[in-house]
A and B are shown apart, each in its own frame.
Chain A
Amino acid sequence: RKEVEQDPGPFNVPEGATVAFNCTYSNSASQSFFWYRQDCRKEPKLLMSVYSSGNEDGRFTAQLNRASQYISLLIRDSKLSDSATYLCVVKESGGYQKVTFGIGTKLQVIP
């Protein structure tokens, strides 16, 4: 089983739609969680950190469920510019805190 699992998609949604992605992780001791965005042929860039209490940044909401070991990303009112791959990232606790990426979920927002 992979340490971080995501549905690779693609998710094709119309402009204005709400879309949600989930990600599960296998190490219950994982400490920190992030969503990164990667545009085609570009490097990953931090979208948002994920906090235990959940957090929101404009149209983006991230949630963490430690009991079920999953995190989610909700995008409201999708824009064409949201089209990208969304990478789930998990940082372990202890030691030097290895950072592991999921395969990424591809989102295509359609006009």
Chain B
Amino acid sequence: GAGVSQSPRYKVAKRGQDVALRCDPISGHVSLFWYQQALGQGPEFLTYFQNEAQLDKSGLPSDRFFAERPEGSVSTLKIQRTQQEDSAVYLCASSSRGTDSGANVLTFGAGSRLTVL
């Protein structure tokens, strides 16, 4: 596609509900990142995929957070038993080359704004 597409754009969940956020990166992009951005903060790294391989999940805040990219294209971030502190914008970004080459530009999706009541 022309850009990174994320859905849903807005999600309201009751505390304890499970949510799934989808990211459709730019076609052919190898690298895919998930970030969490709380109000007034910068994007905080959650996890990184190179093709279908999840190379780094060190930023996932708890075992309630799970991400996958089974075919190396679309990725899903799942949050189980949501808590109020999970309320944030979840940003997905992709880039065109494997990150062990030169400077790569991240292109972001518009984000999924999650509100947990």
Binding site for B on A (CB under 8 A): 4, 6, 8, 31-32, 34, 42-46, 49, 87, 89, 91, 95-104
Contacts and interface: CB of A to CB of B under 8 A. Distances in A.
A49 B103 CA distance: 8
B contacts with A: majority SS: loop
B105 A46 contact: yes
A91 B102 CA distance: 10
B109 interface: yes
Contacts of B91: 43-44
Interface of B: 33, 35, 40-45, 48, 50, 55-56, 91, 99-100, 102-111
B103 A99 contact: no
A8 B107 CA distance: 23
Among A31, A95, A97, A102, the one with the most B-chain Cβ atoms within 10 Å of its Cβ is A97
A42 B103 contact: no
A108 to B, nearest CB: 14
A43 B111 contact: yes
